[in-house]
Amino acid sequence: MLPAFVTELTLDAWTVIIGFIAVVLRYFMQRLSIRKDECVVAFLNGATLVPFVVLVTSAFGPDLLELALTTKGSMALAGGVGIFSVLGEVIAPKDLRRNGEFKMTPR
């Protein structure tokens, strides 16, 4: 049996709630200042946490596996963000990746 807080709110609702909490945390961590693009990235990163946790824990219980299979919206969001994250790392040229130090080398 799933805990009451999971069954009361669906996984999709928890995904949105955690996404907004991530935006608020980012806002306070940057000393009450946030840009729109950072806001979107913070929301998507926060929103993917819930589906990823459900996917990992679904291996340990049939109830969570059923929950993961029935909530297609949040799983699609997490999958899409995951695919773009991996593709961004694979396709990005090495010169555009952020390094610890930025050095200009003359040619």
> What residue spans define the domains of the chain?
4-72
| Closest by Cα among 59, 56, 94, 71 to 6 | 71
Range of weakest confidence among 10-19, 28-37, 47-56: 28-37
Q: How far apart are CA 39 and CA 92, in angstroms?
A: 23
Diameter of the chain measured on Cα atoms: 65
Determine contact, residues 79/71, Cβ cutoff 8 Å: no
Pick the more confident residue, 24 or 90. 24
Tens of pLDDT along 50-106?
Answer: 888 888 888 888 887 887 788 788 888 888 888 888 887 777 766 555 555 555 566
pLDDT at position 42 is: 86
Has this prediction a pTM greater than 0.75? no
pLDDT at position 12 is: 81
pLDDT at position 73 is: 81
